[in-house]
A and B are shown apart, each in its own frame.
Chain A
């Protein structure tokens, strides 16, 4: 694995530190993907961890009731390569759609639906309900 030198100083103190500690040992840097605070770090650390499977990953839960969304809504940062598990519980039948990754899951009232995937594409992607058109959250991968 290679670590590219950081290009942009401001955001990267943390990133560099994480990347260096990650590469110092021989083990996969499992700490990189384990918490959402690490998601704020950018390129170097994140791409370094892409290959490493992170068993824990990030769990994002959203509840929908009466047409409104609650839980992990808004802009949710995710590190590149992290394993993401989206859990959506809705009080009405609908379909949830993750843009860009183009993933869909049927929602039955009261039944939590799970979408699990590796966040390998950088960018900001909306997660929304097909029928109602409700925006649940935006995944910020990078």
Chain B
């Protein structure tokens, strides 16, 4: 089965109606000025001591090593099973569970999971358990001292590899490709963790960093006294550390989703991407990431220059404010995939190895219902996600500017806001199909 733009799937969304695209763009521009001119003039979200603490017993349970090891062991068991299915299950993608779990249920599902529950993959990352087991035999981590200076750049590379596989590599959905990827990913990252120490996973494991980055917008946070609290996601996003390389992670996520959108347009399919091969896909992916990176760095630096801030720090300082925009893009592009083609996971999970007369959950005979979500609803969610991401991004950038300089002028923020508007209008344009 040949596959569509995003890893696996049987359909893509209809172009959004022009009117809806224009309303969305207008709303984004208007709301940007509302945020700049009418929102608070003093930093408001920088409150490390805020939040509603969860009961102490619950925190002890969630933070306990035993619980985390147990969850990691469960995730490891699922991963091993999935790898076995990829190796020994049905050869056809349409009947093999592994590609659907990797590209739809796991990769797309990581977004709502992290948004609602916090950095879930950091808690249940099965590779951490494997690493811990091997460290008993190989205790030294010779490279541990070098890790901090790398920041999140290793995760940027890790994500880029996965995104290239998902969006460009023609045989991405073959079960054998998924098997090689899963085994390769485990070997590479456990190996690097043995060299750099367990902190590698927080800096270099693309999936874990993706989950952590999205979890900045979740309601779960740590108060300054260590208590696990529920609080305003915007406070969490504002307090999250300004990691080195975060801008690169965000730009790669945004640029790759933009490329996914581009690759679904008639323009791409009949123009630059007509060959539908690795070369055109690779160039397209890198160009889109490059465009996003160029615009972002330009906007952040110009805003810094107007505000009299050192320009070099600006892209890193504001990187967290672009996360909601990237998240909006992701929801817009993948939520229908998750709800529609994602049904395949639950059908195939009933008989992972495609054996005769096996039907664990009684769902194996089901057929994916591609009408479960209407196209009007999909269009509204798409535009709503893009515009919401934009407004949250502009709000966070506004707060960030006030934190950098207490008397920051609204006009100083204009270049970055204009870039954000470009991202949003561009995102809507891709959904419209130009």
Name A's B-contacting residues (CB within 8 A). 7-12, 42-43, 74-75, 97, 99-100, 102, 120-126, 128, 130, 133, 135, 138, 140-142
12 contacts between A and B (CB under 8 A): A7-B376, A9-B19, A10-B22, A11-B18, A11-B19, A74-B270, A75-B269, A123-B12, A123-B13, A123-B370, A125-B10, A126-B4
Closest to A7 in B: B376
Interface residue? B192 (CB, 8 A) = no
Q: Is the CB of B20 within 8 A of A8?
A: yes
Contacts of B13 in A (CB 8 A): 123-124
Contact flags B14-30 to A (C-beta < 8 A → 1, else 0): 11011110100000000
> Chain A contacts of B266 at CB under 8 A?
74-75
A-B residue pairs, 10 tightest by C-beta: A8-B19, A10-B19, A8-B17, A123-B11, A122-B375, A10-B18, A100-B11, A124-B12, A100-B10, A142-B14
**B371 contacts A122, CB within 8 Å?**
yes
Residues on B with C-beta less than 8 A from A121 are: 11, 370-371
A128: chain B residues within 8 A (beta carbon): 2
CB distance from A46 to the nearest CB of B (A): 10
**Apart from A8-B20, A74-B269, A126-B2, what are 7 other A-B pairs with CB-CB below 8 Å?**
A8-B17, A11-B19, A12-B17, A124-B12, A124-B13, A135-B269, A138-B269
Q: Across the interface, do B371 and A135 meet the contact criterion of CB distance under 8 Å? A: no
Residue of A nearest to B170 (CB): A133
- Known contacts: A11-B18, A135-B276. The answer to whether A142 contacts B375 by CB under 8 A is yes
Q: B6 on the interface (CB 8 Å rule)?
A: no
Binding site for A on B (CB under 8 A): 1-2, 4, 10-15, 17-20, 22, 170, 264, 266, 269-270, 276, 370-371, 374-376
Residues on the B chain within 8 Å of A130, using CB: 1-2
Chain A contacts for B371, CB-based, 8 A = 120-122
The answer for the CA separation of A123 and B170 in the assembled complex, in Å, is 22
| Residue of A with least CB distance to B20 | A8
Question: In the assembled complex, which residues on chain B have CB atoms less than 8 Å from the CB atom of A126?
Answer: 2, 4
Given A74-B266, A74-B270: A123 and B17 within 8 A (CB)?
Answer: no
Residues of A within 8 A of B374 (CB): 122
User: How far is B371's CA from A138's CA once the two chains are assembled, in angstroms?
Assistant: 18
Out of A42, A120, A125, A135, which one reaches B17, CB within 8 Å? A42
B21 CB, nearest partner CB in chain A, Å: 9
Cross-interface CB contact of A10 among B15, B17, B170, B269, cutoff 8 Å: B17
Query: Complex: how many Å from CA A42 to CA B16?
Result: 11
Check A99–B17 contact: CB distance below 8 A.
no
Chain A's closest residue to B375 (CB) is A122
Question: B11: which A residues are within 8 A, CB to CB?
Answer: 99-100, 121, 123-125
Return chain B residues, CB-CB under 8 Å to A74.
266, 269-270
Whether A140 pairs with B10 at a CB distance below 8 angstroms is no
**Measured CA separation A92–B17 after assembly (Å):** 39
| Cα-based distance from A133 to B370 in the complex (angstroms) | 23
Q: Which residues of B contact A8 (CB under 8 A)?
A: 17-20
Q: Which of B1, B12, B276 contacts A97 (CB 8 A)?
A: B1
Residues from chain B with a CB closer than 8 A to the CB of A140 are: 14-15
B12: which A residues are within 8 A, CB to CB? 123-124
| Across-interface contacts of A7 in B (CB, < 8 A) | 376
Docked-complex contact A122 and B14, CB < 8 angstroms: yes
The answer for the CA separation of A74 and B11 in the assembled complex, in Å, is 15
Q: Which residues of A contact B2 (CB under 8 A)?
A: 97, 126, 128, 130, 133, 135
